[in-house]
A and B are shown apart, each in its own frame.
Chain A
Amino acid sequence: MLRILGRATSSNVQKVVWLCEEVGIPYEREDIGGPFGGNDRPEYLALNPNGRVPTLIDGDFVIWESNACVQYLASGHAAGSWYPDDLQARARAVQWMDWSLGSLAPTHVPAFQGLIRTPPAERNPDAIARSRDAWSKLMAMLDAHLADRAYIAGESITMGDMPPAVLSFRWFNLDFEREDYPNAKRWYDTIARRPAFARHVVDIGLA
């Protein structure tokens, strides 16, 4: 059976378990990283020298980097749906996955970690505010992209929706002021009604 190494509160682990449930891939998950530790042990680093979660073990094949894990699983189990066959639609999905990796995720970290993983007395309000403002500009981009399409890569959900949706749960649920992004909100609310997303992202909460 597929093994996923990584704690359930990691947004990067959530993408992988969400996909597994959507497409019916049985898996076992092990708590590693964050409060559980274990990601700096020699046994873990032998599998994933980058020392982060998740790591995916599929028989004798090991892969890490969450979006690479998603593409690997989607291409093998969900070609034509989560992994678009049309190369332009697939590239559009990948474009927003890479944008999430290189722009959205690093921008949101100071706000998210500051508000959720830092005791109130130790928070840096200026850093949190700057992060929120920059994050909001990226949400405006996402909102504009979703103005005339239901999902990231067109009219059906694909792997391209996964990274921005997992981080959008945080955007729409953190305790801060939010601009009104109606297209992003409609898109997010549609995804949040999916049982697999509800179970692996919404029900886990902000942690």
Chain B
Amino acid sequence: MLRILGRDTSSNVQKVLWAAGELGLEFEREDIGGKFGGNDTPEYLALNPNGYVPTLIDGDYTLWESNAIVRYLAATHGAGTLWPEDARIRGGAERWMDWQIATLSPTMVTVFRGLVRTPPEDRDMARIAAARDRTARLFAMLDAALAGSDFVAGRDFTMGDIPVGIAAYRWYHLDIEREDFRNLERWYRRLAERPAYREHIMKPLA
């Protein structure tokens, strides 16, 4: 059985749980990272020298980097669904996965950590507000991209929806002002109908 190492409050672990749920894969998950610690032990670093969660163990194969794990599970178990066979559709999906890593996540993390993982008296509200504004500009981009399509890579749900779909849940559940992004909200409501999203993503922020 697949083993997923990482606490389920991590958005990066959630990507893998959601993908596994969509694909109907059985797995065991172990709490590592955050308040559980364990991601700096020699045993963990031998599996994942980067020291973050998640790590996937599939038999004698070990893989880390959350989006790489999502791609691997999709390519292995979801060809034609999560993993688009058409190279252009797949390229569109991968583009939003990379954008989440390099652009959305480093911007949004200041808002999320500031409001969810920082005690109120320690919060730098000016910094959080500035990061919220930058995050809103990024969601405006995604909103525009979703104007003509049901999902980020087109008509169908793909692996490309997973990283940004988790960020969208956080966007709609943080205690912040939100612009009216109609396409984004329509897409988010569509994700919220999916059982695996409800099970693994739609939980209190922690």
Contacts and interface: CB of A to CB of B under 8 A. Distances in A.
Interface residues of A, number: 33
Given A50-B99, A101-B98, A72 B63 contact: no
A145 B87 contact: no
B33 to A, nearest CB: 16
A63 B65 contact: no
Interface stretch (A32-40, A85-93, A169-177): A85-93
Contacts, number: 87
Interface SS of chain B: helix
Contacts of A103: 50
B127 to A, nearest CB: 18
B82 to A, nearest CB: 13
Interface string A77-100: 000000000011011101111110
A65 B88 CA distance: 13
A154 interface: no
A98 B65 contact: yes
Contacts of A91: 63, 68-69, 71-72, 75
B94 A102 contact: no
Interface stretch (B101-109, B112-120, B172-180): B101-109
A98 B91 contact: no
A72 B101 contact: no
Top-5 shortest CB links A-B: A91-B72, A72-B91, A95-B68, A65-B98, A98-B65
Interface of A: 49-50, 61, 63-69, 71-72, 75-76, 87-88, 90-92, 94-99, 101-103, 105-106, 141, 144-145
Given A65-B94, A65-B102, A87-B72, 13 more contacts: A49-B141, A71-B90, A72-B94, A75-B87, A75-B90, A87-B75, A90-B75, A102-B65, A103-B50, A106-B106, A141-B49, A141-B50, A145-B49
